[in-house]
Amino acid sequence: MKWTAVAAVLLVAVATVAADTDLPHKQQAINRLLNRITSHLPSAYTDLKAAATSYNPRSEAAHFSDGGAAANHLLDEIEDHRVLEQHHWFSLFNTRQREEAIMLVDVLLHANDFETFKKNAAFFREKMNEGEFVYALYVAVTHSPLTQDVVLPPLYEVTPHLFTNSEVINEAYSAKMTQHPGNFEMHFTGSKKNPEQRVAYFGEDIGINSHHVHWHMDFPFWWHGEKIDRKGELFFWAHHQLTVRFDAERLSNYLSPVDELYWDRPIKDGFAPHTSYKYGGEFPSRPDNKEFEDVDGVARIRDLTITESRIRDAIAHGFIENDDGTHIDIDNDHGIDILGDVIESSTYSPNSAYYGALHNQAHRVLGAQADPHGKFDLPPGVMEHFETATRDPAFFRLHKYMDNIFKEHKDKLPPYTKEQLADPNIQITGVDVSNLKTYFEDFTFDLGNALDTTEGVEDVKVTAHIPRLNHEDFTYNIHVHADHAETITVRVYIAPVYDENHIKMDIDYVRWEGILLDLFWVDVKSGDNNIARRSSDSNVAIPDRISFPKLIHDTDAAVAGGGSLNLASGRGCGIPQRLLLPKGTEEGMDFYFDVYISSGDDAVHDDLVSNDHGSTHGYCGIQGEKYPDKKPMGFPYDRHIPDRRVYDSLKNLHTQKVKIFHDPGHH
Ligand code: CUO
């Protein structure tokens, strides 16, 4: 009896702690759960180790909002030996592997308190495939209300294999074995004989890779939780921006804009990833001019072309057919959102039995072209991981292909009229832009998590360094005359002026190549106003991620000192601030620098002037809330422009040419 009473007191005590686990402790738990992911939890992590060995999710029903159903289900699967083994590759596009990862997401998202979240994560970490675990934990931390202030470490330092080359990994292994620390030079794949190599710095940028994988964690195509606002449109928009940005990088490197993929033509550019799985061998290579082959168990090329034509039929008809035969009109602002759901496809697709999953299937089909019939038992290709997909030039061809389907829809909508575009209250009298200069710098990141570790063996400091694009900070001043005070919506775009033959691009072409630099709200007073904006203010970009070793260090210090933890790092979704500008040229590359102002009525939330909601909403929305801009993404350039005079006559649109210089000597 006495012992039961003590246990009851202890339980109450635990519950009290559970209700208010502080941020440093939460952050420490997440750091530790993700550290050295392929090794066992060390005994020094006492609480995690205890949860992994002696916790039983089955007896914790009261701590789950679903009464423990998700945890019991996953445990049944594990006990019946149905789940993927450890030390095996994981791909989100593999249906069964994805289902298993989602089972763990469900367990974690049903935890009522952080202690339950943490214990289950530790418990299942030791029993599930590591790749599934990392994915599930990232998604759960991203979406759980219990972990909103927790900062996720950069994925390139949690699973470095997916972000660096085999050569560097081999050097790191060797360093560990000989117990000599090292900082290894990482090269972009390929050689100078390959023109595509000139833009490898973009597709292989670890910050772009990290943005892309986070985007897909914030907006999973399989998502079945609370409705995410304009998810299909964001799928279009985030990838459209990656695509046009790649085109700008190509132009600055004397390459033509990327051509789309054709199912009935060879895949022009091959790709040799020079990348290895931690478990599963080398990523497969693809030679140039590979003809598409059906992929066993995934899709036939014939079916993909049928799927494409059904979608394009829907665009031509102006409606999507639901599975019950009713129609959803898409010839309006909202159509792009539905089309995004349909093309990806996501669980929001109104009729995936008919419209298929064009984009997701295409990733798999492209990824498997080296071994389409499984004869060689090759692991999935780079296209089958969001971490690695942008490395392959075929990624941009695929997304140009998708983008052109979206464009077919947008081009069918009536052009905006002058009345829709004008703002009689606003006149932009000038925009001063400071010097725009890009350069490459060396960036070093930690490789410690690529290596196995065991208690009693010293860790060795191993890092990789690679050049990355950056730019000098810049500012711009927008001079605005307003007839009366109001809140205004400001959209800033840049777009290349000339094509690869130095022919000036037509407005109706170039408007689709616009790169969103910023989208923000500001109050103007009656009369003349000067709106000063800095590159670092941009609402499309995020600051550098805090490195994993620093995150661990600062967190442990906060826990030990009983202090608070102020990481102010925000979300992982968003392009790195240093990539805000496309690379310039030595002689200066011409870009349009456009500022378009409309009324504050376009703001979805009341506080946008004073609150940037994490400053990354341009491509990533606001976590858990509505996208801040009522207008279609890409406004006012998302629709066809048959006559430039409408745009030329707008006083609330200011266009000028600027040059972006590139400094090749900077280091
Ligand atoms: Cu992000 Cu194709 O969706 O990669």
For 338-397, the pLDDT digits (tens) are: 999 999 999 999 999 999 999 999 999 999 999 999 999 999 999 999 999 999 999 999
Among 217, 219, 382, 386, say which to mutate for ligand 1: greatest number of ligand atoms within 8 Å of CB.
386
- Residue 510 burial (CB count, 10 A): 19
Protein residue closest via CA to atom 4 of ligand 1: 386
Instruction: Give dist(CA 398, CA 203) in Å, integer.
Output: 14
Pairing relationship of beta strands 486-496 and 515-524 according to DSSP bridges: antiparallel
Q: Determine if the peptide bond prior to 284 is cis (ω within 30°).
A: no
Q: Identify whether the C-beta of residue 648 lies closer than 8 Å to the C-beta of residue 418.
A: no
pLDDT score at 388: 95
Q: How far is the CA of 219 from the centre of ligand 1 (A)?
A: 11
Angle between helices 393-412 and 231-252 (to 10 degrees): 120
C-alpha to C-alpha distances, 292 to 264, 301, 358, 362, 363, nearest whole angstrom? 7, 7, 15, 11, 13
Instruction: Give dist(CA 101, CA 415) in Å, integer.
Output: 44
User: Which regions in the chain score pLDDT beneath 70?
Assistant: 1-20, 667
For 224-250, the pLDDT digits (tens) are: 999 999 999 999 999 999 999 999 999
For residue 618, what are its two tokens?
């341009």
Local structure of 188: helix, strand or coil? coil
CA 424 vs. chain centroid, Å, equals 38
Instruction: Give dist(CA 284, CA 379) in Å, integer.
Output: 7
Q: How far is the CA of 485 from the centre of ligand 1 (A)?
A: 42
Residue found by looking up tokens 């967190």 in the block: 555
Q: How far is the CA of 519 from the centre of ligand 1 (A)?
A: 23
What letter does residue 370 receive in the DSSP assignment? T
pLDDT score at 18: 44
pLDDT score at 12: 44
Among 399, 400, 405, say which to mutate for ligand 1: greatest number of ligand atoms within 8 Å of CB.
399
User: Closest ligand 1 atom, CA of 386?
Assistant: 4
User: Closest ligand 1 atom, CA of 398?
Assistant: 2
What letter does residue 334 receive in the DSSP assignment? T
Q: Identify whether the C-beta of residue 207 lies closer than 8 Å to the C-beta of residue 468.
A: yes
Q: How many residues are there in the chain?
A: 667
Domains parsed from the chain with CATH numbers = 4-150 (1.20.1370.10), 195-412 (1.10.1280.10), 418-444+464-542+579-662 (2.60.40.1520)
pLDDT score at 20: 67
pLDDT score at 457: 80
Angle between helices 335-344 and 393-412 (to 10 degrees): 150
Instruction: Give dist(CA 661, CA 470) in Å, integer.
Output: 12
Give the angle subtended at the CA of 421 by the CAs of 417 and 423, to the nearest 5°: 135
Q: Identify whether the C-beta of residue 94 lies closer than 8 Å to the C-beta of residue 295.
A: no
Q: Tell me which residues have their CB closer than 6 angstroms to ligand 1.
A: 212, 216, 239, 359, 363, 386, 389, 399
- Residue 659 burial (CB count, 10 A): 17
Instruction: Give dist(CA 382, CA 388) in Å, integer.
Output: 5
pLDDT score at 10: 43
For 517-543, the pLDDT digits (tens) are: 999 999 999 999 999 999 999 999 999
